[in-house]
Structure 1
Amino acid sequence: MTDINRSFKIQAINRRFLPFDSEKEKEWQGPFYFVQGADCQPGLTYRWTGTQRIECTPDMSMKWDVEIEATRAVIKKLNQMQPKPKFFIVCGDIVDAFDFEEPFRTQQENDIKQVLNELDPSIPLVCVCGNH
Protein backbone atom coordinates (compact mmCIF):
# COMPACT_ATOMS: atom_id res chain seq x y z
CA MET A 1 0.00 0.00 0.00
CA THR A 2 1.42 3.40 -0.94
CA ASP A 3 1.85 6.18 1.62
CA ILE A 4 -0.89 8.24 -0.04
CA ASN A 5 -3.35 5.35 0.27
CA ARG A 6 -2.50 4.91 3.95
CA SER A 7 -3.57 8.49 4.67
CA PHE A 8 -7.06 7.81 3.28
CA LYS A 9 -9.21 5.64 5.48
CA ILE A 10 -12.86 4.85 5.95
CA GLN A 11 -14.14 7.16 8.66
CA ALA A 12 -17.85 6.44 8.44
CA ILE A 13 -19.29 3.38 10.16
CA ASN A 14 -22.94 2.63 10.98
CA ARG A 15 -24.05 6.06 9.77
CA ARG A 16 -21.54 7.79 12.05
CA PHE A 17 -18.64 9.98 10.95
CA LEU A 18 -15.82 9.00 13.30
CA PRO A 19 -14.00 12.38 13.48
CA PHE A 20 -17.09 13.84 15.17
CA ASP A 21 -17.44 13.12 18.87
CA SER A 22 -21.09 12.11 19.29
CA GLU A 23 -21.24 13.36 22.90
CA LYS A 24 -19.70 16.72 22.06
CA GLU A 25 -21.63 17.16 18.82
CA LYS A 26 -25.12 16.23 20.01
CA GLU A 27 -25.89 19.67 21.48
CA TRP A 28 -25.77 22.97 19.66
CA GLN A 29 -22.46 24.72 20.39
CA GLY A 30 -22.93 27.84 18.30
CA PRO A 31 -22.44 28.78 14.67
CA PHE A 32 -20.32 26.73 12.30
CA TYR A 33 -19.98 26.30 8.59
CA PHE A 34 -18.80 23.64 6.17
CA VAL A 35 -17.67 23.74 2.55
CA GLN A 36 -19.12 21.54 -0.20
CA GLY A 37 -17.30 20.80 -3.45
CA ALA A 38 -18.20 18.52 -6.33
CA ASP A 39 -16.78 16.68 -9.31
CA CYS A 40 -13.00 17.01 -8.94
CA GLN A 41 -12.96 14.58 -11.87
CA PRO A 42 -9.35 14.74 -13.14
CA GLY A 43 -9.31 13.95 -16.86
CA LEU A 44 -12.77 15.27 -17.72
CA THR A 45 -11.62 18.44 -19.52
CA TYR A 46 -9.13 16.56 -21.69
CA ARG A 47 -11.59 13.82 -22.68
CA TRP A 48 -14.39 16.08 -23.86
CA THR A 49 -14.03 17.70 -27.26
CA GLY A 50 -17.05 19.88 -27.78
CA THR A 51 -19.95 17.47 -27.46
CA GLN A 52 -18.14 14.13 -27.69
CA ARG A 53 -16.22 12.16 -25.07
CA ILE A 54 -12.92 10.54 -26.10
CA GLU A 55 -12.68 6.92 -24.97
CA CYS A 56 -9.55 5.88 -23.08
CA THR A 57 -7.08 3.48 -24.62
CA PRO A 58 -3.96 2.34 -22.73
CA ASP A 59 -1.63 3.81 -25.37
CA MET A 60 -3.06 7.35 -25.31
CA SER A 61 -1.60 10.14 -23.26
CA MET A 62 -4.09 11.50 -20.76
CA LYS A 63 -3.87 14.83 -18.99
CA TRP A 64 -5.63 16.08 -15.90
CA ASP A 65 -3.44 18.94 -14.70
CA VAL A 66 -6.31 21.44 -15.14
CA GLU A 67 -8.54 19.65 -12.62
CA ILE A 68 -5.67 18.89 -10.23
CA GLU A 69 -4.62 22.54 -10.12
CA ALA A 70 -8.24 23.68 -9.65
CA THR A 71 -8.62 21.27 -6.72
CA ARG A 72 -5.28 22.41 -5.30
CA ALA A 73 -6.48 26.05 -5.43
CA VAL A 74 -9.63 25.10 -3.49
CA ILE A 75 -7.58 23.24 -0.86
CA LYS A 76 -5.26 26.23 -0.50
CA LYS A 77 -8.26 28.54 0.10
CA LEU A 78 -9.76 26.11 2.63
CA ASN A 79 -6.48 25.93 4.52
CA GLN A 80 -6.38 29.74 4.76
CA MET A 81 -9.92 30.10 6.12
CA GLN A 82 -10.33 31.39 9.68
CA PRO A 83 -12.10 29.97 11.47
CA LYS A 84 -11.63 26.59 9.83
CA PRO A 85 -14.69 24.90 8.32
CA LYS A 86 -16.24 22.13 10.41
CA PHE A 87 -15.63 19.77 7.46
CA PHE A 88 -15.10 19.71 3.69
CA ILE A 89 -17.48 17.47 1.75
CA VAL A 90 -16.68 16.46 -1.83
CA CYS A 91 -19.63 15.04 -3.77
CA GLY A 92 -19.95 13.60 -7.23
CA ASP A 93 -17.30 12.07 -9.44
CA ILE A 94 -13.95 12.09 -7.66
CA VAL A 95 -12.12 10.79 -10.78
CA ASP A 96 -13.09 10.64 -14.45
CA ALA A 97 -11.79 7.21 -15.53
CA PHE A 98 -13.98 4.18 -14.90
CA ASP A 99 -12.57 1.13 -13.13
CA PHE A 100 -11.96 -0.65 -16.45
CA GLU A 101 -9.92 2.27 -17.83
CA GLU A 102 -6.51 1.39 -16.47
CA PRO A 103 -3.88 2.65 -15.96
CA PHE A 104 -5.69 5.99 -15.91
CA ARG A 105 -8.07 5.12 -13.09
CA THR A 106 -5.30 4.30 -10.61
CA GLN A 107 -3.21 7.30 -11.70
CA GLN A 108 -6.17 9.66 -11.26
CA GLU A 109 -6.99 8.17 -7.86
CA ASN A 110 -3.40 8.63 -6.69
CA ASP A 111 -3.17 12.19 -8.01
CA ILE A 112 -6.46 13.35 -6.49
CA LYS A 113 -5.62 11.69 -3.16
CA GLN A 114 -2.28 13.48 -3.13
CA VAL A 115 -3.97 16.86 -3.62
CA LEU A 116 -6.77 16.19 -1.12
CA ASN A 117 -4.10 15.12 1.36
CA GLU A 118 -2.87 18.74 1.33
CA LEU A 119 -6.04 19.70 3.24
CA ASP A 120 -5.31 20.95 6.75
CA PRO A 121 -5.64 17.88 9.02
CA SER A 122 -7.92 19.85 11.35
CA ILE A 123 -10.57 19.94 8.58
CA PRO A 124 -12.22 16.52 8.21
CA LEU A 125 -12.68 15.38 4.60
CA VAL A 126 -15.95 13.67 3.69
CA CYS A 127 -16.22 12.08 0.23
CA VAL A 128 -19.64 11.17 -1.14
CA CYS A 129 -18.69 9.58 -4.45
CA GLY A 130 -20.59 9.60 -7.71
CA ASN A 131 -20.71 6.73 -10.15
CA HIS A 132 -16.94 6.57 -10.78
Structure 2
Amino acid sequence: MRAQTYLKSILFIVATITLMANATAEDELSSKVEPRFTQAANRTFKAFNPEQEQTWQRPFFFMQLADTQYGMFSGNKGFDQEVALVEQAVKHINRLRPRFVIVCGDLTNATPNHARYQAQVSQFQQDFSNVDPEIPLVCVCGNHDIGNRPTRESIASYQQNFGDDYFSFWVGGVCNVVLNSSVLKDPSGAPEVLAAQQTWLDAQLQNAKAAKAKHILLFQHHPLFLSQEDEPDEYFNIPLVRRTPLLEQLKQADVRAMFAGHYHRNAYGRAGAMEMITTGPVGRPLGKDPSGFRIVIVDETKIQHQYWAMDNVPEKIELPESSVAP
Protein backbone atom coordinates (compact mmCIF):
# COMPACT_ATOMS: atom_id res chain seq x y z
CA MET A 1 0.00 0.00 0.00
CA ARG A 2 2.82 2.36 0.95
CA ALA A 3 4.55 1.53 -2.33
CA GLN A 4 1.41 2.49 -4.30
CA THR A 5 1.11 5.76 -2.38
CA TYR A 6 4.79 6.52 -2.98
CA LEU A 7 4.40 5.77 -6.73
CA LYS A 8 1.38 8.07 -6.99
CA SER A 9 3.34 10.84 -5.28
CA ILE A 10 6.24 10.41 -7.71
CA LEU A 11 3.88 10.48 -10.71
CA PHE A 12 2.17 13.61 -9.37
CA ILE A 13 5.52 15.37 -8.95
CA VAL A 14 6.63 14.40 -12.48
CA ALA A 15 3.34 15.65 -13.95
CA THR A 16 3.63 18.93 -12.05
CA ILE A 17 7.20 19.49 -13.24
CA THR A 18 6.13 18.76 -16.85
CA LEU A 19 3.26 21.24 -16.65
CA MET A 20 5.53 23.91 -15.18
CA ALA A 21 8.10 23.32 -17.93
CA ASN A 22 5.44 23.64 -20.63
CA ALA A 23 4.10 26.82 -19.03
CA THR A 24 7.62 28.27 -18.89
CA ALA A 25 8.19 27.40 -22.55
CA GLU A 26 4.92 29.08 -23.49
CA ASP A 27 5.83 32.18 -21.46
CA GLU A 28 9.18 32.35 -23.27
CA LEU A 29 7.45 32.10 -26.62
CA SER A 30 4.94 34.78 -25.62
CA SER A 31 7.72 37.26 -24.91
CA LYS A 32 9.17 37.03 -28.43
CA VAL A 33 7.23 39.40 -30.69
CA GLU A 34 8.96 40.90 -33.71
CA PRO A 35 7.96 44.30 -35.15
CA ARG A 36 7.33 42.65 -38.52
CA PHE A 37 4.05 41.25 -37.17
CA THR A 38 2.61 44.69 -36.45
CA GLN A 39 3.51 46.44 -39.70
CA ALA A 40 -0.19 46.84 -40.49
CA ALA A 41 -0.73 50.20 -38.78
CA ASN A 42 -2.69 53.39 -39.50
CA ARG A 43 -4.65 51.41 -42.12
CA THR A 44 -1.60 50.77 -44.28
CA PHE A 45 1.37 48.37 -44.34
CA LYS A 46 4.73 49.86 -43.40
CA ALA A 47 6.88 47.61 -45.59
CA PHE A 48 5.63 49.30 -48.76
CA ASN A 49 6.10 52.96 -49.74
CA PRO A 50 2.73 53.96 -51.23
CA GLU A 51 4.17 56.69 -53.46
CA GLN A 52 6.86 54.47 -54.97
CA GLU A 53 4.62 51.41 -55.24
CA GLN A 54 1.74 53.12 -57.08
CA THR A 55 3.75 52.94 -60.31
CA TRP A 56 3.76 49.78 -62.42
CA GLN A 57 7.29 48.47 -62.98
CA ARG A 58 7.29 44.82 -64.02
CA PRO A 59 5.43 41.53 -63.48
CA PHE A 60 5.75 39.99 -60.05
CA PHE A 61 4.28 37.18 -58.00
CA PHE A 62 3.06 36.77 -54.46
CA MET A 63 2.10 33.78 -52.34
CA GLN A 64 -1.27 33.47 -50.64
CA LEU A 65 -1.51 31.20 -47.61
CA ALA A 66 -4.56 30.54 -45.44
CA ASP A 67 -5.61 28.72 -42.29
CA THR A 68 -2.33 27.85 -40.65
CA GLN A 69 -4.65 27.36 -37.66
CA TYR A 70 -2.16 26.19 -35.06
CA GLY A 71 -3.83 23.59 -32.83
CA MET A 72 -6.58 22.39 -35.19
CA PHE A 73 -5.12 18.92 -35.78
CA SER A 74 -5.03 18.19 -32.04
CA GLY A 75 -8.04 20.10 -30.75
CA ASN A 76 -5.74 22.73 -29.16
CA LYS A 77 -3.66 20.15 -27.29
CA GLY A 78 -0.55 20.82 -29.35
CA PHE A 79 0.59 22.10 -32.73
CA ASP A 80 3.36 19.78 -33.94
CA GLN A 81 1.66 19.04 -37.27
CA GLU A 82 1.04 22.70 -38.01
CA VAL A 83 4.64 23.56 -37.14
CA ALA A 84 5.93 20.94 -39.59
CA LEU A 85 3.70 22.22 -42.41
CA VAL A 86 4.62 25.85 -41.79
CA GLU A 87 8.31 24.91 -41.80
CA GLN A 88 7.78 23.46 -45.28
CA ALA A 89 5.93 26.58 -46.41
CA VAL A 90 8.64 28.88 -45.08
CA LYS A 91 11.34 26.93 -46.94
CA HIS A 92 9.36 27.34 -50.17
CA ILE A 93 8.87 31.07 -49.49
CA ASN A 94 12.56 31.70 -48.88
CA ARG A 95 13.57 29.71 -51.96
CA LEU A 96 11.01 31.23 -54.37
CA ARG A 97 11.29 34.81 -53.02
CA PRO A 98 7.84 36.27 -53.76
CA ARG A 99 7.20 40.02 -53.72
CA PHE A 100 5.17 39.42 -50.56
CA VAL A 101 3.38 36.67 -48.63
CA ILE A 102 -0.14 37.06 -47.29
CA VAL A 103 -1.80 34.70 -44.78
CA CYS A 104 -5.57 34.96 -45.13
CA GLY A 105 -6.76 34.36 -41.60
CA ASP A 106 -7.20 31.75 -38.91
CA LEU A 107 -3.59 32.04 -37.90
CA THR A 108 -4.52 30.14 -34.72
CA ASN A 109 -7.22 27.64 -33.82
CA ALA A 110 -7.83 29.04 -30.33
CA THR A 111 -9.71 32.33 -30.04
CA PRO A 112 -8.43 35.26 -27.91
CA ASN A 113 -10.38 34.18 -24.81
CA HIS A 114 -9.01 30.62 -24.93
CA ALA A 115 -6.24 29.50 -22.56
CA ARG A 116 -4.09 28.22 -25.45
CA TYR A 117 -4.45 31.31 -27.64
CA GLN A 118 -1.23 33.11 -26.67
CA ALA A 119 0.90 29.98 -27.01
CA GLN A 120 -0.44 29.47 -30.55
CA VAL A 121 0.12 33.12 -31.45
CA SER A 122 3.68 32.91 -30.17
CA GLN A 123 4.40 29.72 -32.10
CA PHE A 124 3.02 31.28 -35.29
CA GLN A 125 5.28 34.29 -34.80
CA GLN A 126 8.30 32.16 -33.98
CA ASP A 127 7.87 30.02 -37.09
CA PHE A 128 7.11 32.87 -39.50
CA SER A 129 10.04 34.85 -38.12
CA ASN A 130 12.11 32.47 -40.24
CA VAL A 131 10.76 34.08 -43.41
CA ASP A 132 13.54 36.17 -44.93
CA PRO A 133 13.17 39.73 -43.52
CA GLU A 134 13.30 41.11 -47.07
CA ILE A 135 10.03 39.31 -47.90
CA PRO A 136 7.07 41.24 -46.41
CA LEU A 137 4.67 39.05 -44.43
CA VAL A 138 1.06 40.29 -44.39
CA CYS A 139 -1.43 38.82 -41.89
CA VAL A 140 -5.22 38.88 -42.20
CA CYS A 141 -7.64 38.23 -39.34
CA GLY A 142 -10.04 35.27 -39.43
CA ASN A 143 -12.92 34.12 -37.26
CA HIS A 144 -10.62 32.09 -35.01
CA ASP A 145 -8.38 35.13 -34.58
CA ILE A 146 -11.16 37.44 -33.38
CA GLY A 147 -14.13 35.10 -32.76
CA ASN A 148 -17.26 34.18 -34.73
CA ARG A 149 -18.95 37.18 -33.13
CA PRO A 150 -16.08 39.65 -32.95
CA THR A 151 -16.09 42.42 -30.38
CA ARG A 152 -13.96 45.51 -29.90
CA GLU A 153 -12.07 43.57 -27.23
CA SER A 154 -11.33 40.53 -29.40
CA ILE A 155 -10.28 42.77 -32.30
CA ALA A 156 -8.01 44.75 -29.95
CA SER A 157 -6.37 41.49 -28.85
CA TYR A 158 -5.64 40.63 -32.48
CA GLN A 159 -4.32 44.14 -33.16
CA GLN A 160 -1.88 43.85 -30.29
CA ASN A 161 -0.33 40.75 -31.87
CA PHE A 162 -0.77 41.39 -35.60
CA GLY A 163 -1.62 45.04 -36.21
CA ASP A 164 -4.66 46.46 -37.99
CA ASP A 165 -7.62 44.24 -38.82
CA TYR A 166 -8.26 46.10 -42.10
CA PHE A 167 -5.84 48.13 -44.21
CA SER A 168 -4.51 48.62 -47.74
CA PHE A 169 -1.14 48.72 -49.47
CA TRP A 170 0.24 49.26 -52.96
CA VAL A 171 2.71 46.93 -54.67
CA GLY A 172 4.00 47.64 -58.17
CA GLY A 173 0.97 49.58 -59.36
CA VAL A 174 -1.52 47.18 -57.75
CA CYS A 175 -3.82 48.28 -54.92
CA ASN A 176 -4.30 45.56 -52.30
CA VAL A 177 -7.18 45.90 -49.85
CA VAL A 178 -7.43 43.75 -46.71
CA LEU A 179 -10.82 43.46 -45.00
CA ASN A 180 -12.03 42.17 -41.65
CA SER A 181 -14.55 39.64 -42.97
CA SER A 182 -15.64 38.43 -39.53
CA VAL A 183 -17.57 41.66 -38.96
CA LEU A 184 -19.12 41.15 -42.40
CA LYS A 185 -20.15 37.66 -41.34
CA ASP A 186 -21.60 38.76 -37.98
CA PRO A 187 -21.43 42.46 -37.08
CA SER A 188 -23.67 42.18 -34.01
CA GLY A 189 -20.79 42.38 -31.52
CA ALA A 190 -19.07 45.35 -33.18
CA PRO A 191 -21.45 47.14 -35.59
CA GLU A 192 -19.40 50.34 -35.36
CA VAL A 193 -16.34 48.46 -36.71
CA LEU A 194 -18.26 47.30 -39.78
CA ALA A 195 -19.57 50.82 -40.37
CA ALA A 196 -16.09 52.34 -40.07
CA GLN A 197 -14.62 49.68 -42.37
CA GLN A 198 -17.28 50.38 -45.01
CA THR A 199 -16.66 54.13 -44.95
CA TRP A 200 -12.94 53.47 -45.23
CA LEU A 201 -13.46 50.97 -48.09
CA ASP A 202 -15.51 53.52 -50.05
CA ALA A 203 -12.55 55.89 -49.97
CA GLN A 204 -9.98 53.18 -50.79
CA LEU A 205 -11.82 52.07 -53.92
CA GLN A 206 -12.27 55.66 -55.10
CA ASN A 207 -8.60 56.43 -54.51
CA ALA A 208 -7.45 53.28 -56.31
CA LYS A 209 -9.53 54.11 -59.34
CA ALA A 210 -8.35 57.72 -59.36
CA ALA A 211 -4.72 56.54 -59.13
CA LYS A 212 -5.36 54.22 -62.11
CA ALA A 213 -4.33 51.04 -60.32
CA LYS A 214 -3.39 48.28 -62.75
CA HIS A 215 -5.44 45.93 -60.59
CA ILE A 216 -7.43 46.15 -57.38
CA LEU A 217 -7.14 42.97 -55.31
CA LEU A 218 -9.06 42.22 -52.12
CA PHE A 219 -8.03 39.85 -49.36
CA GLN A 220 -10.09 38.56 -46.46
CA HIS A 221 -10.69 35.37 -44.54
CA HIS A 222 -14.27 34.45 -45.46
CA PRO A 223 -15.19 34.02 -49.13
CA LEU A 224 -18.03 36.30 -50.17
CA PHE A 225 -19.33 33.17 -51.93
CA LEU A 226 -17.93 29.80 -52.91
CA SER A 227 -19.13 29.31 -56.49
CA GLN A 228 -22.22 31.46 -57.23
CA GLU A 229 -22.61 35.07 -56.19
CA ASP A 230 -26.28 34.52 -55.24
CA GLU A 231 -25.81 31.14 -53.52
CA PRO A 232 -27.77 30.65 -50.26
CA ASP A 233 -26.29 31.71 -46.94
CA GLU A 234 -24.21 29.07 -45.18
CA TYR A 235 -21.34 28.78 -42.70
CA PHE A 236 -18.57 29.35 -45.24
CA ASN A 237 -19.88 32.45 -47.06
CA ILE A 238 -20.99 35.99 -46.20
CA PRO A 239 -24.79 36.51 -45.73
CA LEU A 240 -26.58 37.81 -48.80
CA VAL A 241 -27.84 40.87 -46.95
CA ARG A 242 -24.28 42.20 -46.80
CA ARG A 243 -22.79 40.21 -49.68
CA THR A 244 -25.01 41.59 -52.45
CA PRO A 245 -24.40 45.34 -51.93
CA LEU A 246 -20.68 44.75 -51.41
CA LEU A 247 -20.42 42.75 -54.62
CA GLU A 248 -22.15 45.52 -56.54
CA GLN A 249 -19.69 48.02 -55.15
CA LEU A 250 -16.70 45.83 -56.05
CA LYS A 251 -17.99 45.32 -59.58
CA GLN A 252 -18.42 49.08 -60.09
CA ALA A 253 -14.89 49.64 -58.80
CA ASP A 254 -13.50 47.07 -61.30
CA VAL A 255 -11.98 44.91 -58.58
CA ARG A 256 -9.99 42.20 -60.35
CA ALA A 257 -10.10 39.41 -57.77
CA MET A 258 -10.81 38.60 -54.15
CA PHE A 259 -8.73 36.02 -52.27
CA ALA A 260 -10.00 34.18 -49.19
CA GLY A 261 -9.51 31.07 -47.07
CA HIS A 262 -11.79 29.66 -44.32
CA TYR A 263 -13.09 26.76 -46.45
CA HIS A 264 -10.01 24.53 -45.91
CA ARG A 265 -10.18 23.51 -49.57
CA ASN A 266 -10.22 25.34 -52.90
CA ALA A 267 -13.24 26.93 -54.53
CA TYR A 268 -13.71 29.30 -57.46
CA GLY A 269 -16.46 31.58 -58.72
CA ARG A 270 -17.10 34.82 -60.57
CA ALA A 271 -19.17 37.92 -59.98
CA GLY A 272 -19.12 39.73 -63.30
CA ALA A 273 -15.43 40.16 -64.18
CA MET A 274 -14.26 39.68 -60.58
CA GLU A 275 -12.84 36.32 -59.56
CA MET A 276 -13.68 34.89 -56.13
CA ILE A 277 -10.71 32.67 -55.25
CA THR A 278 -10.89 30.53 -52.12
CA THR A 279 -7.60 28.90 -51.17
CA GLY A 280 -6.98 25.65 -49.31
CA PRO A 281 -5.16 25.47 -45.97
CA VAL A 282 -1.55 25.36 -44.93
CA GLY A 283 -2.89 23.47 -41.90
CA ARG A 284 -5.57 20.81 -41.67
CA PRO A 285 -7.55 20.10 -44.88
CA LEU A 286 -11.31 19.47 -44.74
CA GLY A 287 -11.64 18.18 -48.30
CA LYS A 288 -9.66 16.52 -51.06
CA ASP A 289 -7.23 19.42 -51.49
CA PRO A 290 -4.02 18.78 -49.52
CA SER A 291 -2.18 21.29 -47.36
CA GLY A 292 -0.55 23.91 -49.57
CA PHE A 293 -0.73 27.50 -50.81
CA ARG A 294 -1.45 29.60 -53.89
CA ILE A 295 1.06 31.34 -56.14
CA VAL A 296 -0.31 34.41 -57.96
CA ILE A 297 1.50 35.93 -60.95
CA VAL A 298 0.57 39.56 -61.59
CA ASP A 299 1.02 40.92 -65.11
CA GLU A 300 0.11 44.40 -66.30
CA THR A 301 -3.20 43.29 -67.80
CA LYS A 302 -4.00 40.01 -66.05
CA ILE A 303 -3.31 37.70 -63.14
CA GLN A 304 -2.67 33.96 -63.12
CA HIS A 305 -2.84 31.72 -60.09
CA GLN A 306 -2.40 28.09 -59.12
CA TYR A 307 -2.72 26.13 -55.88
CA TRP A 308 0.26 23.96 -55.03
CA ALA A 309 0.34 21.04 -52.61
CA MET A 310 3.14 21.40 -50.08
CA ASP A 311 5.10 18.47 -51.59
CA ASN A 312 4.62 19.53 -55.20
CA VAL A 313 5.87 23.14 -55.35
CA PRO A 314 7.90 24.19 -58.43
CA GLU A 315 11.57 24.98 -58.07
CA LYS A 316 11.20 28.36 -59.75
CA ILE A 317 8.45 30.76 -60.86
CA GLU A 318 8.71 31.96 -64.44
CA LEU A 319 7.42 35.50 -64.91
CA PRO A 320 6.23 36.97 -68.23
CA GLU A 321 8.45 39.55 -69.87
CA SER A 322 7.88 43.08 -68.65
CA SER A 323 5.96 45.35 -70.98
CA VAL A 324 7.54 48.39 -69.27
CA ALA A 325 11.29 48.92 -69.14
CA PRO A 326 12.70 48.67 -65.59
TM-score normalised to structure 2 length: 0.34
Structure 1 unmatched runs, 5+: 48-55, 57-61
Report the secondary structure of 2:103's partner residue. strand
Whether 1:68 and 2:83 are equivalent positions in the alignment is yes
Within-5 A mapping of 1:1-132: 2=31, 4-47=32-75, 62-81=77-96, 84-102=97-115, 104-131=116-143, 132=145
TM-superposed deviation, 1:27: 0.9
Structure 1 residue ranges (4+ consecutive) displaced by more than 3 angstroms after TM superposition: 6-9
- 1:7/1:14 CA distance change after superposition, 3 Å: closer
TM-fit CA distance, 1:8? 4.0
Deviation at 1:16, TM superposition (A): 2.2
Contact 2:102 2:138 in 1 (8 A): yes
Unaligned runs of 5+ in 2: 1-29, 146-326
- Taking structure 1 as the reference length, the TM-score comes to 0.79
RCO comparison, higher one (Cα < 8 Å, 6+): 1
> Which residue matches 1:51?
none
Residues 74-131 of structure 1 show CA distances to partners (whole Å, capped at 9, x for unaligned) of: 01111011xx2111000120001122221x1111111111001000111000000102
Tell me which protein shows more helix as a share of its residues.
2
Paired with 1:129 and 1:92, the residues of 2 have a C-alpha distance of: 5
Which structure has the larger Rg? 2
C-alpha change, 1:6 and 1:78, in structure 2 (3 Å) is: closer
Q: CA deviation at 1:17?
A: 1.6
Residues 39-92 of structure 1, C-alpha deviations (whole Å, 9 max, x = no match) = 001110112xxxxxxxx6xxxxx12100111011101111011xx211100012
One-letter identity of the residue aligned with 1:15? R
User: What displacement does 1:29 show?
Assistant: 0.4
In structure 1, C-alpha distance between the alignment counterparts of 2:71 and 2:79, rounded to whole Å: 4
Identity of aligned residues (%): 37
Count of matched residue positions in the alignment of Structure 1 and Structure 2: 115
